[in-house]
Amino acid sequence: MLFYATTIDGLQMGLCFAILALGVYISYSVLNFADLSTDGTFPLGGVVCTILMYRLGIPPFAAVALSFLAGFCVGAVTGVLHVKFKISDLLSGIISMTALLSVTLAFTKLLTKNGMTTAVVSYRGIGVNGIFGGKLLSRLSSDARDGIIIAVLIAIVIFIKLIIDLFLKTKLGYMVRATGNNPMLVTTLGKNNGNYKILGLCIANGFIAVSGAVYTNLFMSYDNTSGSGKVVLALASVIIGLAVFSKIRFIADTTAVIFGALIYSLCLNYLVLVDKDGTYLKLLNAAMFTLILIFNNKIAAFFSKNAKIRRGGGSA
């Protein structure tokens, strides 16, 4: 029973993190940009979504969609710092992330009756239902409710995946991809690759904020520390997905990233069964991420070696 509950929880969290991983996939794999603002953008999406529902009465799904704009603005700030002010990608992301720690905390003043800042805000405490907190779902059994939540999350993830796939196939999407893979080509075409880099970061952070909004709805509460470690989680998901599934021809990279997020989330949840009091959870997480990186390098070396053998027509 405990294993079943852990698996269901891992699937639900994994689907939330799949949206996060898709956003990081754009910045990390498509743009080749190490964006560390993820840890700040994720909770920003959650707090903005909560404010839209609580203060403005916007329906939950619309509030989740509008949280994209908050992340879009973060991506613009990070991109401008890097492109216009020549600050390195790592430092640009760190600056944005650090600033957002205060911004998100300040936003919680709008969610408390006394106007004080707070690290955690419960939806039930402020009278907000969210996507998964309606009266119909509350009347269902636990298993039925979990099934509906997973179905809704799958629909959201597939919808976002299709949007990203369609965007990357457009002319604008090709230019964003070229900016990460071959910036000289963009320059040769008479285009400013800096502008495309900013656009890519805006879109990436937009989806990261959406992930934070969905995550907040799932747990029916907002936590200002929810962004801690999310960049590592997302990178691990991307690396796992691309290492394991990208060599399968009929699986797109975005689909591989989604599978990677599910695998990594399930692994994290199963670690809780090993370390029940959570003392060594972060250590186990770090060890697992290290093994993933080593595994990824081995896989890359293996395929690279085989490709050389095929091109040479010989054998090792």
Query: What are the pLDDT digits (tens) for 229-258?
Result: 899 999 999 998 998 887 788 899 999 999
d(CA 301, CA 16): 31
- Which residue ranges in the chain fall short of pLDDT 70? 297-316
d(CA 289, CA 237): 10
Asked if residue 266 belongs to a domain, the reply is no
pLDDT of residue 287: 86
Domain boundaries, position 215: 10-225
pLDDT of residue 307: 57
Between the CA atoms of 255, 256, 261 and 266, what dihedral angle is there, to the nearest 10 degrees? 110
Asked if residue 72 belongs to a domain, the reply is yes
Chain segment 30-48, per-residue pLDDT in tens: 999 999 999 999 999 999 9
pLDDT of residue 311: 61
pLDDT of residue 312: 62
Asked if residue 120 belongs to a domain, the reply is yes
d(CA 156, CA 61): 10
Asked if residue 147 belongs to a domain, the reply is yes
Name which of 233, 247, 252, 213 is nearest 30 in CA terms.
Answer: 252
How far is CA 295 from each of CA 96, 248, 264, rounded to the nearest angstrom? 31, 17, 14
pLDDT of residue 299: 64
Between the CA atoms of 107, 111, 116 and 121, what dihedral angle is there, to the nearest 10 degrees? -100
pLDDT of residue 313: 53
| Domains held by the chain: number | 1
Asked if residue 41 belongs to a domain, the reply is yes
d(CA 223, CA 216): 8
Q: Are residues 24 and 38 in contact, defined by beta-carbon separation less than 8 angstroms?
A: yes
Q: What backbone phi and psi angles, to 5 degrees, belong to 122? A: -85, 135
Asked if residue 294 belongs to a domain, the reply is no
Q: Are residues 18 and 257 in contact, defined by beta-carbon separation less than 8 angstroms?
A: yes
pLDDT of residue 315: 44
